[in-house]
Amino acid sequence: MHPLTTLLTLVLTALTSAAPQSPSLHRRQAAASELSSLAALKPTASPTALAQIPTTLSSIFAPASASSTPPSFLGSAAALIENGFAPSNLANVISGLSVGANSPVNVNLRQPATKIYPKKEKDDAPYSLSEAEMRAQIHIPSGFTYGKVQPIIMVPGMFGVLSRH
């Protein structure tokens, strides 16, 4: 995966969870707007020699001085794009971040056989999101069998690095 794709995925995640007091729809709209802005950027420079890469990356990620504020997440992403460190199909990469399994906006109409919201057991901790907000975060593929075949839930970051498996 292109490093900027990873960065943009982190940006989307940060933007959609940065303000828990805001409505989820507002956070998603803000994230979409920020990602659209990044997709519209065009490279204005590009390293012409390998020796330029460390210097350019240092200038993007390092604060100008010890007393200055480190660059923002979005500012770093924009600087990477402007300095030619983005994939040539950046707009496609960004649009792919918000569809299907990557979408924070899904419609899951089928109700669970056993009701678990707001609690399954009386001692369960309360949820911080509404059931609709949680259901919107889950992508259920069209071929899902709803228990006919046991599903496997994969959580990133569990059991080691994915590229090693």
What is the structure's pLDDT at 96?
Answer: 65
What is the structure's pLDDT at 78?
Answer: 86
What is the structure's pLDDT at 116?
Answer: 82
What is the structure's pLDDT at 114?
Answer: 83
What is the structure's pLDDT at 98?
Answer: 60
**What does each of the 165 residues of the chain score in pLDDT, given as a tens digit?**
555 556 566 655 555 444 444 445 566 666 667 777 877 888 888 888 888 888 888 888 877 666 777 777 778 888 888 888 887 777 777 666 666 666 777 788 888 888 888 888 888 888 888 888 888 888 888 788 887 888 777 776 656 554 444
What is the structure's pLDDT at 21?
Answer: 43
What is the structure's pLDDT at 2?
Answer: 55
Half-sphere exposure of 55 (CA within 13 A, CB side): 7
Cα–Cα distance, 155 to 165 (Å, whole number) = 14
What is the structure's pLDDT at 26?
Answer: 61
